[in-house]
Amino acid sequence: MAHQLPPLPYGYDALEPVIDKQTMTVHHDLHHGAYVKNLNAALEKHPQLADKTPEDLIRDLNAIPEDIRGAVRNNAGGHVNHTMFWKIMKPKGGGDPSGPIAEAITKAFGNFKDFQTKFNDAGVKQFGSGWVWLAGKANGELQVISTPNQDNPISQGLYPIFGNDVWEHAYYLKYNNRRPEYLTAWWNVVNWDEINHRFAAFKSGKEAHEPAMAR
């Protein structure tokens, strides 16, 4: 079964004014769509990988045949990252977190504002294209990290609780080169309910991703 582009869970204009309709259309249909198309093309060369989820593909990249390893890293990573990204945003989102994720952030970082500062700073300092993440270690510890390109914390043995896309295609039409402004505004569309769902999956040791929705 070929990997498929999941539909947005809201309209292209639903996150305005934080993320404009044109950016969402190009980002979802063209960029995410290209990752799915290119991933499927790479996997045609190795049909034994057809049943693996995108998460499984990037979990152990050394197990991927060398001739498609780069393509899988970039395109399965992009597929996983963006499938998560659409879900952790929603119209009229944002505000302070609540529930278990709020308690965990306070415990790990002191308070939500300090965490936001650390997260945004890591996003600003990510050189070139990439992502900034709240990731969990196997021992339950939380940390803020950034990754280049479409790399995902899964490949480092970490758990991606949530992340923000700092590729220019995610914000440039509206914010131009003002990445810090985008990072600050983005918190107004965060879907804390979905993030709590992912955090609960992390705490239980289960995958937060839903492979059936990502194929």
Q: For residues 78 and 163, is the Cβ–Cβ distance under 8 A?
A: no
The fold of the 19-215 domain, in CATH, is minor pseudopilin epsh fold (3.55.40)
Q: Which H/E stretch holds residue 57?
A: helix 54-59
Structural domain boundaries in the chain? 19-215
Cβ neighbours of residue 28 closer than 8 Å, sequence gap 6 or more: 5, 8, 12, 82, 86
CA dihedral of residues 48, 54, 56, 57 (deg, nearest 10): 60
Residue pLDDT, tens place only, 57-109: 999 999 999 999 999 999 999 999 999 999 999 999 999 999 999 999 999 99
Q: For residues 154 and 192, is the Cβ–Cβ distance under 8 A?
A: no
Res 27: pLDDT: 98
d(CA 202, CA 197): 9
Cβ neighbours of residue 76 closer than 8 Å, sequence gap 6 or more: 35, 39, 54, 57, 58
Residue 99 φ/ψ, nearest 5 degrees: 75, -160
If we measure between CA atoms, which residue out of 169, 163, 121, 138 comes closest to residue 25? Answer: 169
Residue with token string 């998560």: 84
d(CA 20, CA 189): 12
d(CA 27, CA 171): 9
Give me Rg for the CA atoms of the chain: 17
- How high is the mean pLDDT of the chain? 94
Res 206: pLDDT: 55
DSSP state of 8: P
Half-sphere exposure of 187 (CA within 13 A, CB side): 15
Q: Which H/E stretch holds residue 103?
A: helix 100-109
Encoded amino acid at 34, one letter: A
Q: Consecutive sets of 10 residues in the chain, 215 residues long: mean pLDDT of each?
A: 93 98 98 98 95 96 97 98 98 96 98 98 97 96 98 97 98 98 98 97 69 39
Res 205: pLDDT: 81
